[in-house]
Every structure is written in structure tokens, then in C-alpha cells.
């Protein structure tokens, strides 16, 4: 028997219209690409979003068409998010830090029809426009007066929307329709496209509004440092509209000084970003003597939160940190840290380690760990296995049917993470499947060895990789990037590792290197290191 409730599709356009109707006067602040400041509100944002939607339709964008962005976090980018999805087209966010050739490849693969970009990225566009035959229109996010000269044939955003109506009857359609396309960072093989739907986006934004997850409300001011090209801003742009939060969009101002100023000036209460961003703010505050009172939570994702950063924020700045776990394929919210009920939070030393877990499973996301043969492993907090995930905001496949080996026959997504699941839904990431080192039939967690090495004050970064070994199959090998001007003794680094890891995890050799190679999202390119050091002789080194 069917229920008798309204069959209303979950639509992204409902988010922006809700924000306009109920939270119309709530502000959106942007540090613009030229570093001027721009403030308007959800009401004005919705009006301009409708203009853009009408203009895009007029210019020939049809349902299912892809519209790419190469842009900072700013108000026009928000309008693009809502307008493109709202008319049933697909917003494809591109990471500007990628190699221009890879960007051109992505635009071709996605068959983008329009590309909308900030002036900062004009040189990229000039370099690739004649390599992108699918693109009909290049649009820079300025008005006509401030539009730079380009080799490429470029229209400006304000001229595009100028004559368009700010009224629209948003189309309503199947909620499973694609709304956004985001490519994985692609540390192995070509990047693969994850195609979000209206349903997955709205459900994910609802979960983000849970008190235990991000938990923003109409009285919050959310600083979205996480880029809009990175997994749809972790959903912050959607959930902010849903709950009527004020948004602070830092544009190119990602340094500690700029962010600290915005936190102060705009009254930020919640903020989300990767550890390096938080480190930048912390260092700035320590140097300048600024303070950042009023922030009630800093969300950390993208890469693991270190104990030193956690302590710096919680004990020194008085800002609670919350670690979350997710990936492009999980929209990304899969787990968010909340203390265990009854935990004595006044006992900082007794609870701090627990906070370094990747988070606690969010309703909607199911998880399981399996061994190499796909057999389920116990959730005892000790056993590590390949992490599988499932849920209404988890990918079921990649764009154009690629990478189908990432999905099991019974409907799970292989995250590529190695994890331990604790009995109460807590998730502990111990490694990446491709980075885990298999020594004598047992697994060595490259991440744990790296973290332990980083406990040495003169180690800036470390990469632990497995090198081939006759007897043990693989043995750990550590590449250390020292703090500039320092040379930590290998014996001291070994002591740090022995303090936290099993003795047989100790790397057979340690080498120094000025700069570890990083990918476009700031992750160490271990694949490149494995290639470089393939013939390194572990027996001779130490």
C-alpha cells in the first residue's frame, strides 16, 4: 500500500528559493578575485541566480549539458551552482591547480559546453581554448569594464545575465537527474568523474545540517575555505541555503592573514577546510597576536588531522576541531567526529587521542571492512581492512562507465581506504589500499609510520612506501622532508617511530629530500616516489 504523502521531488532549486523566501536578508560575503569586498544576501543571490538560469537557457544550455567552472569561492560561483543545476544542466567544477593539459583533457572528457572562469585563471584558458572543441562559450566572471583581454574569445558574466529576467518557474523533474560533475584527483590513472544527482545533493545537505555533523543554523556564519571545486564545497553551499546561514567566501584570500581578518570582520562561527589552511591561520595568529574568538567549530577534512594541530586549536586558540571523513565518491560526508556520550571532556589528555579518529558514521552511510578476498572483517577497532561504503549519496559508478572495478557486485563502493571500524561507528583510517605495505603477509600502515616520524620536531613531511624485498615481499622505506635548515638524526626519527609502531614496521632505510612531490590537492605523490626509488637498494642503505 502506498502512503498518501505529497510526491515532491528533491530539487536543488528548492534550496535557493527557500533561502530567498525564509532567509532573504542573510548575507553572503565574498573576497573578490581583485581582493575587493562584496556583500549581498540570499535574496539578491536568488534573483541573480534566476537571471543566470534564464540567460543560460537563452544561450542554448539544455538539460544534461555540462557547464564548467574554474573559479574561486565567490558569489558568482554560488549563482552558477544553483542556476546550472536548477535548469537541469550539470555544473562541472575544475581544480585550477591541475596541469592545463589535464584541464583540457577533462573539459573534453566531460564535453563541457560552457566554461566560466575567474580572471586569475585566464592564462589557463588562453593556453587551452583551441584544444577544447566542445566549448561553445568561455565566460569570465567579471563585468564588461573589468574584463581583461584574452587570446580566447571570452564573454563576461555580467553582460551575459544583464538583460535576463529575474523571475523563473524552475523546472521540476526526476530527482535522480544529474546536477554536478566532479573528477577525482586521479592519483592512479586518468581522473574519473563522479556525477551527483539532485536527490543525493539534497539528502547530503540535510545530513550536513545534523547537529552532530556540521550543524549550521540560521544564526551561524560559515567560512567555506574548502574550495568550491573540491567535492561541491563539502555541501556547505547547499546546507547554508537550507538552514539560512551566512556564508563567507574567501576567494583567493587563503593565507592566514586574510582568513583571520574575515573570521574577525564577518563574525565566523563555523569553518571548514583542510589541515594546511588551519595551520596557516594558526601560524599567522602566533606571529601577529590576532585572535579568533567566536568560532564554535573548525571542520577538518581532506587529509588526516594531526595531534599537534588539534592541540594548537583546542588548547591554544580555544577553537574545537571536528574531523570528518569522506571522498569525492561519498559527496563527501560519510563520518564526522562526535565525542562518545559520557566522555569526560574536562579530561583533555584522556580524550584527545579519540578525537583523532576520522569520525563517526553518519545516518545514511553504511560501512564495512573486507580482506583481500572480499570477506567481511570484524568491527572490533583492531582489525584493518579495505573500507567499503554504501548510501544514497555514494556513487554507484563513474561518468561514462569507467572504473567499474571500484564497485562490488552487491552494491558497495570500494573507497580505496584501509580502515578499522570501531564498535560504536567510529572510523579509523589506517592507510590507502594502494599505499599499504605488505611485509611477510602482514600489513604495515604507511600513514602510521609517517605520522610517527612527523612527531620529530624537525621533520616537516614524510612519505613511507613499500619497496620490493626478496624475503618479505615488501619492506617499508621512509623519505623525509626536513624542516628548512634542519637535519633530524635518523636514530631520533627511528625512536619516534618505535614509540608508536611495532618494531617490524621500522623502515629498512631513511633518506632525506628537500621537497616531496605533491599533487593538485596537496597529497604526496607516492606513486611517483615508488617509481623513482624502485631500484633503491635497501640492503646497502640504512
Residues between 172 and 191 that touch its own copies (CB under 8 A) = 174, 176-179
Q: Could you say whether residue 310 binds its own copies (CB under 8 A)?
A: no
Q: Which of 72, 443, 472, 505 is catalytic?
A: 443
Q: Could you say whether residue 63 binds its own copies (CB under 8 A)?
A: yes
Q: Could you say whether residue 393 binds its own copies (CB under 8 A)?
A: yes
Q: Could you say whether residue 171 binds its own copies (CB under 8 A)?
A: no
Tell me which residue has cell 634542519.
486
The Cβ-side half-sphere exposure at 186, using a 13 Å CA radius, reads 20
For the CB of residue 164, give the shortest distance to its own copies in the complex, in Å.
Answer: 24
31 - beta bridge partners? 37
For the CB of residue 343, give the shortest distance to its own copies in the complex, in Å.
Answer: 9
Nearer to its own copies, 37 or 366 (CB): 366
Strand 366-370 relative to strand 385-390, pairing: antiparallel
> What are the CA-CA distances from residue 227 to residues 205, 233, 236, 458, 518 (Å)?
16, 6, 10, 30, 18
Cell numbers for 339, please give them. 565525542
Q: Which of 357, 298, 352, 359 is nearest to 326 (CA)?
A: 359
Please check whether residue 325 is in contact with residue 335, taking contact to mean a CB–CB distance below 8 angstroms.
yes
Binders of its own copies among 327-346, rule CB under 8 A? 331, 338-339, 341
Q: DSSP letter at 329?
A: G
For the CB of residue 499, give the shortest distance to its own copies in the complex, in Å.
Answer: 32
184 is catalytic: yes
Q: Could you say whether residue 10 binds its own copies (CB under 8 A)?
A: yes
Q: Which of 117, 69, 121, 77 is nearest to 100 (CA)?
A: 121
One residue of 210, 311, 460, 522 binding its own copies per CB under 8 A: 210
One residue of 111, 212, 428, 455 binding its own copies per CB under 8 A: 212
**Helix, strand, or coil (residue 413):** strand
Q: Could you say whether residue 361 binds its own copies (CB under 8 A)?
A: yes
Tell me the C-alpha distance between 16 and 25, whole Å. Answer: 13
Q: Could you say whether residue 264 binds its own copies (CB under 8 A)?
A: no
Q: Could you say whether residue 246 binds its own copies (CB under 8 A)?
A: yes
User: What is the rounded radius of gyration, in angstroms, for the C-alpha atoms of the chain?
Assistant: 24
Q: Which of 438, 490, 523, 530 is catalytic?
A: 438
Tell me the C-alpha distance between 511 and 444, whole Å. Answer: 19
Nearer to its own copies, 258 or 328 (CB): 328
Count of residues of this chain found to bind its own copies when the rule CB under 8 A is applied: 73
Binders of its own copies among 64-93, rule CB under 8 A? 64, 90
Binders of its own copies among 422-461, rule CB under 8 A? 423-425
Q: Could you say whether residue 216 binds its own copies (CB under 8 A)?
A: yes
Q: Could you say whether residue 200 binds its own copies (CB under 8 A)?
A: yes
443 is catalytic: yes
Tell me the C-alpha distance between 333 and 235, whole Å. Answer: 8
Q: How far is CA 397 from the centre of its chain?
A: 19
For the CB of residue 531, give the shortest distance to its own copies in the complex, in Å.
Answer: 31
| Residues designated as active site | 184, 329, 438, 443
Amino acid at each position: 500500500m502506498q502512503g498518501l504523502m505529497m510526491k515532491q521531488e528533491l530539487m536543488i532549486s528548492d534550496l535557493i528559493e527557500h533561502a530567498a523566501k525564509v532567509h532573504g536578508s542573510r548575507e553572503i560575503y565574498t573576497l573578490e578575485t581583485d581582493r575587493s569586498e562584496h556583500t549581498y544576501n540570499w535574496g539578491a543571490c536568488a534573483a541573480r541566480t534566476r537571471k543566470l538560469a534564464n540567460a543560460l537557457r537563452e544561450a542554448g544550455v539544455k538539460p544534461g549539458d555540462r557547464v564548467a567552472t574554474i573559479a574561486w569561492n565567490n558569489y558568482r560561483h554560488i549563482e552558477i551552482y544553483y542556476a546550472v543545476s536548477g535548469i537541469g544542466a550539470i555544473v562541472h567544477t575544475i581544480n585550477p591547480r591541475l596541469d592545463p593539459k589535464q584541464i583540457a583533457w577533462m573539459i573534453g572528457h566531460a564535453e563541457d559546453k560552457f566554461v566560466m572562469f575567474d580572471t586569475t585563471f585566464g592564462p589557463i584558458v588562453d593556453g587551452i581554448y583551441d584544444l577544447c572543441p566542445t566549448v561553445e562559450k568561455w565566460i569570465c566572471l567579471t563585468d564588461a569594464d573589468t574584463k581583461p583581454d584574452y587570446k580566447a574569445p571570452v564573454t563576461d558574466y555580467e553582460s551575459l545575465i544583464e538583460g535576463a529576467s529575474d523571475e523563473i518557474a524552475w523546472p521540476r523533474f526526476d530527482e535522480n537527474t544529474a546536477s554536478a560533475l566532479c573528477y577525482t584527483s586521479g592519483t592512479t590513472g586518468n581522473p574519473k568523474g563522479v556525477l551527483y544527482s539532485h536527490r543525493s545533493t539534497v539528502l547530503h545537505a540535510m545530513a550536513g545540517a545534523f547537529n552532530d555533523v556540521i550543524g549550521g543554523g540560521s544564526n551561524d556564519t560559515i567560512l567555506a575555505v574548502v574550495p568550491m571545486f573540491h567535492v561541491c564545497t563539502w555541501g556547505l553551499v547547499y546546507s547554508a541555503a537550507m538552514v539560512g546561514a551566512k556564508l563567507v567566501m574567501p576567494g583567493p584570500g587563503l593565507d592566514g592573514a586574510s582568513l583571520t581578518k574575515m573570521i574577525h570582520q564577518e563574525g565566523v562561527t563555523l569553518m571548514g577546510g583542510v589541515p594546511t589552511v588551519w595551520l596557516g591561520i594558526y601560524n599567522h595568529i602566533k606571529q601577529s597576536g590576532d585572535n579568533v574568538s567566536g568560532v564554535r567549530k573548525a571542520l577538518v577534512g581532506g587529509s588526516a588531522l594531526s595531534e599537534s594541530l588539534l592541540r594548537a586549536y583546542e588548547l591554544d586558540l580555544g577553537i574545537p576541531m571536528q574531523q570528518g571523513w569522506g571522498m569525492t565518491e561519498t559527496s563527501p560526508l560519510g563520518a564526522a567526529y562526535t565525542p562518545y556520550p559520557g566522555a569526560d571532556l574536562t579530561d583533555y589528555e584522556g580524550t584527545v587521542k579519540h578525537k583523532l579518529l576520522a569520525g563517526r558514521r553518519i545516518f545514511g552511510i553504511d560501512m564495512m571492512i573486507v580482506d583481500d578476498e572480499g570477506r567481511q572483517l570484524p568491527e572490533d577497532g583492531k582489525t584493518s581492512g579495505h573500507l567499503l561504503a554504501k548510501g544514497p549519496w555514494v556513487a554507484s559508478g563513474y561518468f561514462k562507465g569507467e572504473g567499474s572495478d571500484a564497485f562490488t557486485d552487491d552494491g558497495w563502493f570500494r573507497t580505496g581506504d584501509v580502515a578499522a571500524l570501531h564498535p560504536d561507528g567510529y572510523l579509523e583510517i589506517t592507510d590507502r589500499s594502494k599505499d599499504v605495505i605488505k611485509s611477510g603477509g602482514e600489513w604495515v600502515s604507511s600513514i602510521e609510520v609517517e605520522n610517527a616520524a612527523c612527531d620529530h620536531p624537525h621533520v616537516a613531511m614524510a612519505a613511507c612506501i613499500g619497496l620490493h624485498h626478496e624475503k618479505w615481499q615488501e619492506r617499508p622505506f621512509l623519505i623525509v622532508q626536513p624542516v628548512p635548515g634542519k637535519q633530524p638524526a635518523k636514530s631520533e626519527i627511528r625512536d619516534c617511530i618505535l614509540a608508536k609502531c611495532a618494531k617490524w614496521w621500522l623502515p629498512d632505510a631513511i633518506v632525506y629530500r628537500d621537497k616531496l612531490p605533491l599533487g593538485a590537492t596537496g597529497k604526496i605523490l607516492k606513486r611517483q616516489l615508488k617509481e623513482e626509488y624502485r631500484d633503491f637498494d635497501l640492503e646497502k642503505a640504512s
